[in-house]
Amino acid sequence: MEQKIALITGATSGIGEACARKFAQSGYAVIITGRNESKLAALQTELENDGKKVLPLVFDVRRSDKAEEAVASLPENWRQIDVLVNNAGLALGLDKEYEGDPEDWNTMIDTNIKGLLTMTRLIVPGMVERDKGHVINIGSVAGDAAYANGNVYCATKAAVKTITDGLRIDVAHTAVRVTNIKPGLVETNFSNVRFHGDNARAENVYKGIKPLTGDDIADVVLYAANAPAHVQIAEVLVLATHQGSGSIIHRTN
């Protein structure tokens, strides 16, 4: 059987890194992308030492020209991508909308929305032509309803939901599947990035509750990818047990 290929954006940490490991362990050849060349190289070495097939691509999804160059550079035997995991994304700041930093807004919009669209535009035409493939977008519970001070981040994840739904409609005449995975509270470096490296503030996000891990979400992503060909897992909301919604979290002292 021909080895399947998965391309995972934002594979240098968190959910993306966990997805790279899970897909590689499941027998996929993995294309790992991200901005940090040394972290990609370390992950590549780890997986290759375990006998896995890995190809790193160093670029920022915010740069559509660099993304296009990277995809165009793929060797012929890496071009027929079976699964695209649009994971690259981030939150910046937790301020009232009228006090937010426009630079943070631009970075979130350019990464979470435009970056996802760029990768979709580059990869999905090949899937449609081959009449097979799977796009898995990493959304968020934040895309279902805004929470206090989440404004623009929540808006970007609401856009991910709508973009995912729209793509699913657009490829319904093909065998290409489209999935939106919406995690709740996941302990990664997400909060460290949101608070611009303020580790103490980031740690408070997870106090009093056992959050999800990157591995937990990667398990769901892999399950969706490995479902029978006639089964399309359209959308999955994954929350920690004591999280009721994006804003309702029960914490213990």
Active-site amino acid positions = 153
Gyration radius of the chain's alpha carbons: 18
Burial of 106 (0-12, 13-18, 19+ CB in 10 A): middle
Residue appearing with tokens 């020209």: 65
164-201 core/surface letters (b: 16 or more CB in 10 A; e: else): beebbeebeeeebbbbbbbbbbbbbebbbbbbeeeeee
Return d(Cα 113, Cα 205) in angstroms, integer. 25
Contact between 60 and 68 under an 8 Å Cβ cutoff? The reply is no
Structure tokens at 215: 């591995």
